[in-house]
Amino acid sequence: MEVLKIATAGSVDDGKSTLIGRILYDTHSLTDDKLEAIERNSRQKGFDYLDFSLATDGLVAEREQGITIDVAHIYFSTQNRSYIIADTPGHVEYTRNMVTGASTSQVAIILIDARKGVIEQTKRHFYINNLLQVKDIIVAVNKMDLVAFDEEKFNKVKEEIQTLIDGSSYKGQNSTCIPVSALHGDNVVKKSNKMPWYTGKTLVEHLEHIQAQDVYEEAATRFPVQTVIRPKTDNFHDFRGYAGKLYGGRLTIGDKVTVLPSGTQSTVKEIFFYEETFESAEKGSSFVLTLTDDVNVSRGDMIVKTNEQPTVGKELEATICWMDKKPLTTATKYGLQHGVHNVLAKVITVETHEEANFSETITNQHALQLNEIGNIRLKLNKPIFYDSYHQNKHNGGFILIDLQTNTTAGVGFIK
C-alpha cells in the first residue's frame, strides 16, 4: 500500500490538532484507550464535545498551553493508502521544527481561521512550503461553524490565498481551498450538508485522489546508489546490481548512463524489482539495476543519464534555514552533508536575510540567528555533484553540521 506524507501548519487556535484528531476519529484510526482518554478528559474539562486535540498534543506543555511545540508523526490509513502526518508547530520561534516536518512531505495542509483570514503566520507557512517546493497545498478554512457557514467569508479567504500564490516563486504548486469545521467534522472526512454551496471534495477525499506520481517532481534522472548487490550464489555468482531510489526522470533498458564521480560511462542492462524484471522505472520507485559493463560503482555514487549531468563544483550559493542557537557567521567552518557525501564547508558571505512572508529581503547581513532564513555563499574542500533545489530537490538539498557538537545547524537549498 502506497504512503503519502503530509505536513500540517496553522497558527495558534486555528484548530490544527483538532483537525488531525477529527481525521483519526472519523477514519477509525484511534485506539480504544486513546478514545476513552479523550472522552474522559473532555468531560473533566466540562466540554460538551470531544476535544480531539488531545489525540495529537503529546507533551505536557502542549496540553497545558493548547499549542503544538514538537514535531509529531501520526499514522492513519484508509482502504486506498496509508498516510503519515508531520504535525508541526506554526509559531515563528519553531520555524526550524516546521522546516524539518515539511522537508520530507509531499502534501501540506495549511489551516486558516475563517474569522481571521490570512495573517502573518499564514504567510510564513506558505513561504516555507514554497521554499521546500511542497507540490500539493490544501488550505483548510476552518471554523466555518463560527461564521455561520458563510460562503462570502470563504471566498474572501480564497482571494487572500490567491494573492499569496501569485507572489510565490514555485509555480509547480497545486493549491486547493476547502471549507471545514474540524470540531464538528464538516467536510473533513464526511461531506457537510451545512454548506450546499461547496461542491468540491472533502479534505480526505482530496487526499485520496492525489496520484502518487503527481507528488514527485519532474526533474533530471538521479539514481543515488544505496548499496551494491552481490549475492555470490550458484545461480547469481557473477551478479552485480546497484540498489537505490530514482529521484526525477525515468530509466529504461538501453539508456546511456554516467557514474559519478568517476565519470565512467555504461548502459542500463536490466531493471529488477524483487525477482521481476521491467523495461523501465519511473521517478519515485526503488529498484535494482545492472549495467552492461563491469565498472566500479560504490555506495554514494550516482548514476545519471549521460546527457543529463549535474553541476560539479566547490562553491555554492544557497538559501539556508538556520537551526542552531549559535548564529551562522562568515568564515565559520561546518560539515556539509549532501546525500551520503560529507565535505568541509566555509561560509564566505551572508548575502541577505529573507523575511519569511514574501515581504522583503534585507542586505548587508553578517550573521543569521536561530530560525532565520537567508542566502549565503559556501566554499567546499572537495567538489560535489549537485543540482539547484529548484531543478532537483533531492540533489539540491544539504545540511550543515556543527563540527564541535555534531548537531544539525542548518538546512540548505542550493540555488
Least confident range from 45-59, 70-84, 306-320, 363-377: namely 45-59
Helix axes 120-131, 95-102, angle to 10 degrees: 40
Whether the per-residue pLDDT at 32 is higher than 60: the answer is yes
Domain final residue pick, 257, 287, 305 = 305
Which position has the higher pLDDT, 56 or 340? 340
Give the rounded percent of residues in the chain with a pLDDT score beyond 90: 49
Please check whether residues 7 and 91 belong to one and the same domain.
yes
Which among 319, 377, 383 is positioned nearest to 347, based on CA atoms?
377
* Rounded mean pLDDT, 179-191: 94
* Rounded mean pLDDT, 155-171: 88
pLDDT per position as a tens digit, 345-403 = 999 999 888 776 666 666 667 789 988 899 999 999 999 999 999 888 889 999 999 99
With 0-12 CB in 10 A as exposed, 13-18 as middle and 19+ as buried, what is 96?
A: buried
Please check whether residues 298 and 325 belong to one and the same domain.
no
Q: How far apart (Å, rounded) are the C-alpha atoms in residues 304 and 323?
A: 32
Please check whether residues 135 and 246 belong to one and the same domain.
no
The pLDDT, as a whole number, for residue 42 is 74
Please check whether residues 199 and 258 belong to one and the same domain.
no
Strands 174-179 and 136-142: parallel
Strands 3-9 and 82-87: parallel
What residues are paired with 105 via a beta bridge? none
Please check whether residues 355 and 278 belong to one and the same domain.
no
Please check whether residues 326 and 282 belong to one and the same domain.
no
Whether the per-residue pLDDT at 59 is higher than 50: the answer is no
* Rounded mean pLDDT, 255-277: 93
Q: What is the pTM of this model?
A: 0.83
* Rounded mean pLDDT, 144-155: 96
Q: How far apart (Å, rounded) are the C-alpha atoms in residues 94 and 82?
A: 27
Domain that holds residue 262: 223-305
Q: How many domains does the chain have?
A: 3
Helix axes 120-131, 151-167, angle to 10 degrees: 50
Domain final residue pick, 163, 192, 215 = 215
Whether the per-residue pLDDT at 304 is higher than 90: the answer is yes
Please check whether residues 281 and 402 belong to one and the same domain.
no
Please check whether residues 270 and 376 belong to one and the same domain.
no
* Rounded mean pLDDT, 302-320: 94
Whether the per-residue pLDDT at 62 is higher than 50: the answer is no
The pLDDT, as a whole number, for residue 64 is 45
Please check whether residues 228 and 211 belong to one and the same domain.
no
* Rounded mean pLDDT, 138-156: 95
Cell 486558516 belongs to which residue?
112
Domain final residue pick, 257, 278, 305 = 305
Please check whether residues 148 and 45 belong to one and the same domain.
yes
Whether the per-residue pLDDT at 63 is higher than 50: the answer is no
CATH number for 379? 2.40.30.10
Please check whether residues 235 and 277 belong to one and the same domain.
yes
Please check whether residues 291 and 318 belong to one and the same domain.
no
Least confident range from 63-72, 188-197, 290-299, 405-414: namely 63-72
Q: How far apart (Å, rounded) are the C-alpha atoms in residues 363 and 13?
A: 34
